[in-house]
Amino acid sequence: MSDCIFCKIIAGEIPSRKVYEDEDVYAFHDIHPFARVHFMIIPKLHIASLADAQPAHQALLGKMLLLAPRLAKEQGLDSGFKTLINTGRGGGQEVFHIHIHVFGGGDPVRG
């Protein structure tokens, strides 16, 4: 998707602070963190939102979810963390490339 900012981040066309990358998944720090640690896990495949996910995406979504505790720990969130998936305009989604927010630590205002 050429007009998707997260696809551009995956392609390296927009810089980001990478947390993790493999053949299926990319993770990077949120540009406007709402906790001491706040990063997002996204698939390299463009899926607009959780509401657009299909049964064929089951393994990919499971992989993203299972990465959350591992990456959270690597980022220093030893005692726990929060996850958030905003879905659709009514769900507060601003970027329409599915992403799992992972955040914690400090004194989160919204978390």
- In the complex, the residues that contact ligand 5GP under the rule CB under 6 A are 5, 14, 16, 28-32, 86, 92-95
Q: CA 49 to CA 39: how far, in whole Å?
A: 17
Q: Is position 99 annotated as part of the catalytic site?
A: yes
Tokens 């505790």 sit on residue: 69
If binding means CB under 5 A, how many residues of this protein chain bind Zn ion?
Answer: 6
* 39 near Zn ion, judged by CB under 5 A: no
C-beta separation of 73 from 66 below 8 A? no
C-beta closer to ligand 5GP: residue 32 or 109: 32
63 closest CA partner among 24, 101, 19: 24
Among 64, 71, 97, 100, binds Zn ion (CB under 5 A): 97
- The SS3 call for residue 18 is strand
**Contact residues: Zn ion, CB under 5 A:** 1, 4, 6-7, 46, 97
Q: Which residues are catalytic?
A: 99
